[in-house]
A = this chain, B = another copy of it.
Amino acid sequence: MTSEEFRRYGRQVVDWIADYHEQIESLPVLSQVSPGRIRDRLPAAPPEQGEDFDAVLADLDEILLPGITHWQHPSFFAYFPANASGPAILGDLLASGLGVQGMLWATSPAATELETHVLDWLADLLALPDAFRSSDTGGGVIQHSASDATLVALLAALHRVSGGASERDGVASGRYAVYSSAQTHSSLEKACRIAGLGNAALRKLDPDPATLAATPTQLRELMDRDVADGITPALVVASIGTTGTGAIDPVRELAEIAREHGAWVHVDAAWAGVAAVAPEFRWINDGVDLVDSYATNPHKWLLTNFDCDAFWVADRSALVGALSILPEYLRNTATDSGAVIDYRDWQVPLGRRFRALKLWAVLRWYGAEGLRDHIRNHVALAQEFESWVRADDRFELAAPRTLSLVTFRLRSGDDDTRALMERVNASGRMYLTHTLVDGKVALRMAIGATPTERRHVEAAWAQLSE
């Protein structure tokens, strides 16, 4: 593609995206296609001769768009948001255009240094503990997702608890245990499988019936029993904002107990953590001064398109110890000097994209003020929605509201609640998903798309309650 063609098609794509966002409200939020429908319309074989980019854009409109569930739609209330924004999209475009691979400091010093810097900035904005700063013993890194963050936290924990032996000798089943609330995200169970501990190593704490948060007394019991059985507590994962209901575990109490046993404490605040940009929501982070690692996703609720999970450790040496291998073809003067960060040693893959650019663009475009407004707006909308649920006798809250997530259901039972969800989702006018609370179906109203305004939340409630 020549430079001139790139300029021409580039403008077309920028306009396509702007048009898409302008008209997104007119599209059904949840794609209504049946399985195989999209593939049926694609040619069976790749083209022999090159085609024009216009053909790609035409097929995007005609073939793919009906198969898109519109995560950026103002009436997308499903799962957790994955909100994007103009500056993030453009920052990401710059990363694609530069096409650098920041596996080592030496392979593009600016990619590493900007990442370290914006993660320090974000730690400032969220008022995270000093130990997480690069100027202290820790530091931040962008992971692909919160699942990756949980996995590397587990690997760092195993490194530390085994005195550095796990890299050589493996983990041996039945030797280590991991603890979390039963409400913790499934990525922890996946991490236990991946890291070779198996599901059997995971101890799930029964959530407190009122708050759905983990119960510290039970953690102590389980840990004491494991220690008596010769099993070493390796990791405790505390959630700030569980996926099901947004429950917030008592991080401080869990961390105090974990510390007595030398276990690593990781906080998964994938969705909720970014709310701490606003001082009035910083209570969610009580106790994080006692933890070893912390993850939150700007790609969920902080206007930065996927992928961008911000992960901090209080002691970077355990993480690097778990993940560093230095073959000859990666040796270089800067690495040998010890004066630089090589982020390949902070993650599972070797290669890495220049993801800091988009986060940098977001933090600068919005500023601290803009980010606070963004979060406050969604929380205020959820408060209103909660009040409407409370005021309607046919509905009940299934769990306390957390920030911008309201979990609710019809009092008349699971079948009605499920039918209501299916009806509104099939309408294409809104999209929300469900969970189970106390074994009963509950709907999750997760407010967080970038363009969501009061009228969209009002319309959603009108449709749900009609």
Contact = CB atoms under 8 A, between A and B. Distances in A.
Contacts of A433: 329, 332
A13 B88 CA distance: 12
A89 B79 contact: no
Contacts of A107: 69, 71, 78-79
B201 A31 contact: no
A348 B148 CA distance: 7
A175 to B, nearest CB: 9
A142 to B, nearest CB: 13
Nearest to A300: B351
A83 B68 contact: no
Give the one of A11, A37, A38, A84 with max B CB within 10 A: A38
A380 interface: no
A222 B113 CA distance: 45
Interface stretch (A189-197, A311-319, A383-391): A189-197
Contacts of A227: none
A287 to B, nearest CB: 24
B87 A53 contact: yes
Interface string A156-192: 0010000000111111111000000000011101101
A290 interface: no
A1 interface: yes
Contact of A113 (B38, B147, B326): B38
Contacts of A199: 167-168
A148 to B, nearest CB: 6
Nearest to A329: B435
A299 to B, nearest CB: 8
Contacts of A93: 10, 13-14, 17, 89, 92-93, 96
A171 B168 contact: no
Contacts of A72: 98-99
A436 interface: yes
Contacts of A351: 82, 144-147, 299, 306-307
Interface string A104-143: 0111111101101110011011000000000000000000
A436 B3 CA distance: 39
B14 A11 contact: yes
Contacts of A240: none
A90 B14 CA distance: 9
A327 B369 contact: no
Nearest to A85: B1
Given A99-B82, A108-B67, A325 B190 contact: yes
Given A145-B351, A199-B167, A13 B90 contact: yes
A50 B97 contact: no
Interface in A326-363: 326-330, 332, 334, 337, 339-340, 348-353, 360-361, 363
Contact of A364 (B47, B70, B100, B169): B47
A97 B16 contact: yes
Given A30-B106, A46-B122, A47-B363, 11 more contacts: A38-B114, A46-B364, A46-B368, A66-B110, A69-B106, A147-B349, A148-B349, A166-B198, A170-B173, A196-B196, A306-B352
Nearest first, the 7 closest Cβ-Cβ pairs linking A and B are A196-B196, A67-B110, A1-B86, A10-B14, A17-B97, A170-B173, A170-B198
28 contacts: A1-B86, A10-B93, A13-B90, A31-B109, A36-B339, A46-B121, A46-B363, A49-B370, A56-B87, A56-B91, A69-B100, A71-B99, A71-B107, A82-B351, A89-B93, A89-B99, A92-B93, A145-B349, A155-B194, A170-B192, A170-B200, A171-B196, A171-B198, A194-B195, A195-B195, A196-B197, A244-B328, A244-B329
